[in-house]
Amino acid sequence: MVGMALDAENNQKLSASLEDYLEAIFNVADEAEGARSKDIAEVLGVAKSSVTGALQALSEKGLANYRPYGCITLTESGRAVAAEVARKHNILKSFFISVLGVDPDIAQHAACRAEHALGPEIIGRLLSFIEFVNESHENGHDVAKEFGAFYEKHAVPKAEVAK
């Protein structure tokens, strides 16, 4: 399970699902004092009963402060793990949009899937590549635009890819 975040307190790898819950709490709670189960369920598109089970697991791991019908907050360890998951997500989404020219909605979904599978070395290299592309653009060499033109010229039509 390469690329999964470590539960900082117990040094255990978290499942992709629990990483998603941490990231959702992190993002929802960032906008308010805490998160509510219904908000997490809505963000992740899952049933409230699924949220309850995940919150209990995160609470047992010392990553979330959870009590039924109350606001959910992250512990210090939970915030650290969630921030790392969100950072990976944002790097991937930025790469997909800025460098590859992928539609933002498609990039969002792809980043959600890829963030769990890519380890820190690949994420670090992607971040460096994005910085390289941005710096090249500032120096008058637009690598992303050149790639876009190359892709348009050499791309395999979608119908052929589906075969």
Question: pLDDT tens digits, the chain, 163 residues: what are they?
Answer: 334 555 554 446 789 899 999 999 999 986 667 899 999 999 999 998 899 999 999 999 999 999 888 899 999 999 999 999 998 899 899 999 988 989 999 999 999 888 888 888 898 888 888 889 888 888 888 888 888 888 888 877 765 555 5
Are residue 61 and residue 124 in the same domain, yes or no? Answer: no
Question: What pLDDT is attached to residue 152?
Answer: 86
pTM: 0.76
Render pLDDT for 66-103 as a digit per residue (tens, 0 to 9).
988 889 999 999 999 999 999 889 989 999 998 898 99
**Using CA atoms, how far apart are residues 162 and 76, in angstroms rounded to an integer?**
45
Residue 75 belongs to a domain with what CATH number?
A: 1.10.10.10
> How high is the pLDDT of residue 43?
92
Q: What is the structure's pLDDT at 1?
A: 33
Q: Which of 14, 49, 82 is the last residue of a domain?
A: 82
Total of domains in the chain: 2
CATH number reported for the structural domain that contains residue 119 in this entry: 1.10.60
- Distance, in Å, from the CA atom of 23 to the CA atom of 9, rounded to the nearest integer, reads 17
Please give the full DSSP string across 1-45, using - where no structure is assigned: -TTPPEETTTTEEPPHHHHHHHHHHHHHHHHSSSB-HHHHHHHHT
Regarding whether 109 and 42 lie in a shared domain, the answer is no
Domain that holds residue 112: 87-161
In a domain, 64, yes or no: yes
Residues 157, 106 within the same domain: yes
Q: Which residues pair with 13 in a beta bridge?
A: 6
| pLDDT, position 3 | 44
**Residue 13: per-residue pLDDT:** 79
Out of 58, 82, 106, pick the residue that ends a domain.
Answer: 82
What is the pLDDT, as a whole number, of residue 148? 85
| Confidence at residue 11, expressed as pLDDT on a 0 to 100 scale | 45
Say yes or no: 93 and 74 in one domain: no
Domain boundary among 57, 82, 107: 82
